[in-house]
Amino acid sequence: MERGRQEIVYLMGGSILDRMAYRLLLQKQLRIEVTVDSAFSPTAVWDALRCKPSLVLVDADSARMEVLDAVQMVPRLCPGASILIISATVEPSLVQSWSSCKIDGYVVKDGGIQELRLAIEAISEGREYFSAGVKQNIIAATTNGKLKLSRREAELLPLIARGLTLRDAAKKMAVSYKTAESYRTSLLRKIGVKDRVELARYAIRERIVDP
């Protein structure tokens, strides 16, 4: 894949050896030289983005809050950088978690090296590239740029974010504990977080509640 020199940052969880293996794969299979690889911690991402990359590759099988926070740092620190998500996730409810981020492409790992090649080429030429069905699921999750929650989910979110127990939140909403639990499970899945602490961080970041 011949192209002019571009700075590329590779974001990935796991060990340094994992990231080294993927760098080698990109180099050998796609002739892509990664400038910097990085974990998802804010400090690591900040340091990685100092090279002002034109392309940021994000290897993440789930849109955890740590990952979403890292991806959202990119347009703030490098407004001109393109972002390509590389993920094994195809389930619509999980793909929709990326709706809170501005991304230029999303490649499902099952597509193999060839699809990754096509995605990088398209994005390097200023176009988008999404594996089949992915973009429609991301768009379906948003209304006016916000995550689409049901009325009850939107009612529960600020209550939990402000520190109420699920039992107290259920009483306030006049629903059973079991019903409130199902709303919470749906919230965690849609937003892509794993506990109430990350749910609260999301609510603060989206200005649903005050910090």
Domain parsing of the chain, residue ranges: 8-142, 149-205
Confidence tier at 154 by pLDDT (50, 70, 90): confident
Percentage above 90 pLDDT, the chain: 40
134 in Cβ contact with 103 (< 8 Å): no
**Range with the lowest mean pLDDT among 65-74, 114-123, 190-199?**
190-199
Per-residue model confidence as pLDDT tens digits over 161-189: 889 999 999 999 999 999 999 888 888 87
CA distance 41 to 90: 25
**Range with the lowest mean pLDDT among 35-49, 88-102, 131-145, 146-160?**
131-145
- Best CATH choice for the domain 149-205 from the list 3.30.1130.10, 2.130.10.10, 1.10.10.10, 1.10.3720.10: 1.10.10.10
Q: What is the CATH number of domain 8-142?
A: 3.40.50.2300
pLDDT at 4 over 70: no
